[in-house]
């Protein structure tokens, strides 16, 4: 049934068309993936349609932190901090391969957002609200201790630093792992399938959707008892289709991040720092790169394609040189960038940075359920709330009862590694297995970190397909990942593989340039691209490689 292979698209479509669905989720970002997993594990017959690739919207373009949101304390969002803080521990436990603790340093300077006193109180409150475990509670550092941790920070006026734990993630892989688990549990899910119309009964109650396959442009109708829109920045577009875009609406705010090689930006320690204009940015080391962000500006351009402008880029460069004055970072040092849109719920008279990050559920007169706002970190809880709503409605309408959410203790795909405590031993053992197969230690480590317990499948493909990889002229490790992407992760276009499944474009741009021709040649053959498709998909990747480094000043 179902499956998650790009070779099975037609089969999945047929099953969706014929299924008697309880819930159809529109959108395959982290919100839609979370909802699908929660719903299917409660026994609801569930399907998901995503118009682009999974996580191609905001869920691959965040700061990539699973965090308690210290800064929300400044806005007195105590409940949000408490809830999201507790959730991050659950997200970590259920997927330690995609979530890694990262100590964060918050330096304070004369006249900055935080001083030693406010930071101490803030971080203490944060530990308390978020239920932070003892080994990860905050400490306070003297100016010298702060400089020992990170000699690159500005020395002038340094009064000390707060030191506390956040969690790093790969947002797109977190999304795909949640979706894979939903599919493993029985959900039907397909990408490149766009909702183009909504279907209603005689009483104007929503009963289904019309979708258009974005690959071959086939159209079909899918019916379900409940339709949930988890379309992030597109929530208002779907509400518009439903004629219910009234009252509260979305406010889109763009955030840009820049990426540098460690050779030019050798950051040792993650830093959360003040900008000259009184905002706060993150600088985070990741493998052999450092990334910095984010901006926060009102956006009304093409939702599918937010881009970095010269102003965005220069703003971040200026902030970097302000806090890391010895670096003299310039445009030429950049290796990549990305831009994303925060789907915030508008609040009259507030600036983007002050608008609440809270999630909300809207139910329209037709019965369309929309979930908007929120955070990557809180996805599981948000999903539970959305499905609680669905289940309540189904109970009222049909008297059907479903079990409670079970996702608190459910590892996501790749997360069967013995929990957070067991992951180090698991990793050691699998790295040994990988090196025995002839994979070098660093590569084996990064594969285990990326795929968790699914690395076994990567190792299998690596062994089985050595000859084929050679014939195709593709590096055998890249080939194993590609086969896994095609057969087990619904990779259809080159950008799916090079951006969302591997993080390549953001963190390993030279790797993308090295492997793209051979990978595209194989994909074209395996997925039977037409000449036009091959040209279009190659251009799409090439444009994004270009835009990762070059500003687009007229947003399209
Ligand atoms: C710059 C930035 C930094 C952030 N940093 C963090 C962070 O560090 N930590 C954190 O927890 N959160 C962070 N966030 C917030 C977080 O990324 C978002 O809350 C989250 O990714 C939203 O996910 P979503 O699934 O709701 O939306 P999306 O990921 O955008 O998913 C919506 C999906 O719906 C699909 N869709 C739309 N219309 C249709 C249609 N008609 N038919 C079918 N499919 C459709 C889209 O293609 C899209 O994939 C950040 C956000 C931004 C922008």
232 within ligand 1 shell (Cβ under 6 A): yes
- Of the CA atoms within 13 Å of residue 535, those in its CB half-sphere come to 3
Atom of ligand 1 nearest to the CA of 342: 53
Residue 135 DSSP one-character state? G
Q: How many structural domains comprise the chain?
A: 3
Distance CA 80, CA 358 (A): 7
Same domain flag for 399 and 445? no
Instruction: Give the domain CATH number at 298.
Output: 3.30.9.10
Q: Which secondary-structure segment (H or E) carries 78?
A: helix 78-94
* Higher pLDDT, residue 171 or 403: 171
95 within ligand 1 shell (Cβ under 6 A): no
Instruction: Give the domain CATH number at 362.
Output: 3.50.50.60
Assigned domain for 378 exists: yes
Are 412 and 430 within 8 A, CB to CB?
A: no
> Cα separations (Å) of 227 from 31, 73, 178?
14, 35, 20
Q: What is the pLDDT of residues 26-44, one digit of tens each?
A: 999 999 999 999 999 999 9
The rounded Å distance from CA 55 to ligand 1 centre is 7
Assigned domain for 490 exists: yes
Joined tokens for residue 225: 């008892």
Does residue 555 have a pLDDT over 60? no
Same domain flag for 431 and 540? yes
Q: Residues in the chain, how many?
A: 556
Same domain flag for 366 and 224? yes
Joined tokens for residue 216: 């071959």
Assigned domain for 90 exists: no
Assigned domain for 195 exists: yes
- Picking from 414, 463, 467, the residue whose alpha carbon sits closest to that of residue 434 is 463
Test site for ligand 1: of 54, 63, 345, 380, most ligand atoms within 8 A of the Cβ: 63
Distance CA 86, CA 403 (A): 23
Residue 202 DSSP one-character state? T
Same domain flag for 331 and 395? no
Q: Would you state the pLDDT for residue 83?
A: 79
Q: What is the pLDDT of residues 67-120, one digit of tens each?
A: 866 666 666 677 777 777 788 889 999 999 999 999 999 999 987 777 777 777
Domain residue limits at 273: 250-345
Q: What is the pLDDT of residues 410-446, one digit of tens each?
A: 999 999 999 999 999 999 999 999 999 999 999 999 9
- Picking from 440, 466, 316, 380, the residue whose alpha carbon sits closest to that of residue 181 is 380
Distance CA 226, CA 208 (A): 8
Same domain flag for 520 and 458? yes
Mean pLDDT of the chain: 93
pLDDT band for position 353 (cuts 50, 70, 90): low
Q: What is the pLDDT of residues 506-526, one digit of tens each?
A: 999 999 999 999 999 999 999
Q: What is the pLDDT of residues 267-323, one digit of tens each?
A: 999 999 999 998 999 999 999 999 999 999 999 999 999 999 999 999 999 999 999
Last residue of a domain, one of 345, 369, 386: 345
Distance CA 256, CA 228 (A): 29
Residue nearest to atom 14 of ligand 1 (CA): 62
Same domain flag for 258 and 296? yes
Atom of ligand 1 nearest to the CA of 371: 26
Residue 61 DSSP one-character state? S
Same domain flag for 226 and 298? no
Same domain flag for 338 and 446? no
Distance CA 119, CA 162 (A): 6
Same domain flag for 401 and 427? no
Assigned domain for 453 exists: yes
Last residue of a domain, one of 345, 373, 401: 345
339 within ligand 1 shell (Cβ under 6 A): no
Same domain flag for 431 and 292? no
230 within ligand 1 shell (Cβ under 6 A): yes
Instruction: Give the domain CATH number at 495.
Output: 1.10.8.870
Q: Would you state the pLDDT for residue 3?
A: 87
Are 67 and 377 within 8 A, CB to CB?
A: yes
The rounded Å distance from CA 232 to ligand 1 centre is 5
Assigned domain for 92 exists: no
Assigned domain for 176 exists: yes
63 within ligand 1 shell (Cβ under 6 A): yes
372 within ligand 1 shell (Cβ under 6 A): no
Phi-psi region of 528 (alpha: psi -120 to 50; beta: other; left: phi over 0): left
Assigned domain for 63 exists: no
Please report the beta strands in 170-316, taking only residues with DSSP state E, as ranges in sequence order: 188-190, 193-200, 206-213, 219-229, 250-261, 270-274, 280-286, 289-293, 297-298
Specify the 3-state DSSP secondary structure of 328.
coil
Same domain flag for 400 and 267? no
Bond from prior residue into 294 cis (ω within 30 degrees of 0):
yes
Q: State pTM to two decimals.
A: 0.97
138 within ligand 1 shell (Cβ under 6 A): no
CA angle in degrees (0–180, nearest 5) for 340-344-349: 120
11 within ligand 1 shell (Cβ under 6 A): no
Test site for ligand 1: of 55, 59, 178, most ligand atoms within 8 A of the Cβ: 59
Other beta carbons within 10 Å of 504: 24
Same domain flag for 401 and 480? no
Number of helices (H), then strands (E), belonging to the chain: the values are: 19, 18
The rounded Å distance from CA 340 to ligand 1 centre is 8
Are 300 and 215 within 8 A, CB to CB?
A: no
Taking the alpha carbons at both ends of the chain, their separation in whole angstroms is 40
């Amino acid at each position: 049934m179902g499956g998650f292979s790009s070779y099975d698209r037609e089969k999945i479509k047929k099953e969706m068309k014929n299924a008697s669905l309880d819930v159809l989720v529109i959108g395959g970002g982290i919100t839609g993936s979370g909802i699908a997993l929660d719903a299917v594990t409660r026994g609801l017959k569930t399907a998901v349609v995503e118009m682009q690739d999974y996580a191609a919207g905001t869920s691959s373009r965040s700061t990539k932190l699973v965090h308690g949101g210290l800064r929300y304390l400044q806005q007195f969002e105590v409940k949000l901090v408490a809830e999201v803080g507790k959730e991050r521990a659950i997200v970590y436990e259920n997927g330690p391969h995609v979530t890694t603790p990262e100590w964060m340093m918050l330096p304070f300077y004369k006249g900055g957002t935080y001083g030693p006193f406010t930071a101490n109180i803030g971080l203490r409150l944060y530990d308390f609200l978020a239920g932070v475990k003892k080994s990860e509670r905050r400490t306070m550092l003297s100016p010298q201790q702060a400089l020992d941790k990170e000699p690159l920070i500005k020395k002038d006026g340094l009064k000390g630093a707060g030191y506390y734990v956040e969690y790093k993630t790969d947002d797109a892989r977190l999304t795909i792992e949640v979706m894979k688990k939903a599919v493993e549990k029985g959900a039907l899910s397909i990408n490149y399938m766009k909702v183009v119309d909504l279907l209603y009964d005689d009483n104007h109650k929503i009963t289904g959707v019309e979708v258009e396959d974005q690959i071959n442009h086939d159209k079909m109708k899918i019916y379900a008892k409940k339709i949930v829109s988890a379309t992030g920045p597109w929530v208002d577009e779907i509400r518009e289709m439903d004629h219910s875009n009234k009252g509260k609406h979305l406010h889109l705010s763009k955030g840009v991040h820049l990426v540098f090689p460690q050779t030019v930006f050798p950051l040792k320690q993650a830093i959360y720092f003040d900008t000259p204009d009184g905002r706060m940015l993150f600088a985070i080391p990741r493998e052999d790169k450092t990334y910095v962000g984010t901006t926060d500006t009102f956006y009304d351009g093409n939702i599918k394609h937010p881009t970095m402008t010269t102003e965005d880029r220069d703003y971040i460069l200026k902030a970097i040189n302000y806090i890391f004055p010895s670096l003299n970072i310039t445009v030429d040092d950049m290796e990549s960038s990305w831009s994303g849109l925060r789907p915030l719920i508008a609040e009259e008279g507030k600036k983007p940075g002050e608008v609440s990050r809270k999630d909300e559920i809207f139910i329209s007169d037709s019965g369309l359920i929309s979930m908007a706002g929120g955070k990557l970190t809180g996805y599981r809880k948000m999903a539970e709330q959305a499905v609680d709503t669905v289940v309540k409605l189904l109970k009222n309408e049909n008297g059907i009862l479903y079990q409670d959410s079970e996702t608190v203790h459910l590892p996501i795909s790749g997360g069967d590694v013995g929990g957070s405590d067991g992951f180090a031993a698991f990793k050691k053992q699998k790295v040994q297995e990988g090196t025995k197969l002839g994979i070098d230690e660093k590569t084996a480590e990064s594969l285990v970190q990326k795929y968790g317990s699914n690395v076994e499948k990567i190792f299998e493909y690596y062994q089985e397909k050595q000859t084929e990889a050679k014939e195709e002229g593709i590096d055998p490790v890249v080939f194993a990942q590609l086969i896994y992407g095609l057969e087990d992760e619904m990779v259809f276009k080159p950008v799916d593989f090079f951006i969302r499944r591997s993080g390549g474009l953001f963190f390993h741009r030279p790797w993308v340039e090295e492997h793209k021709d051979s990978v595209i040649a194989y994909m074209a053959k395996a997925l039977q691209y037409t000449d036009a498709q091959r040209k279009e998909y190659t251009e799409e990747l090439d444009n994004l490689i270009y835009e990762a480094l070059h500003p687009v000043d007229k947003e399209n």
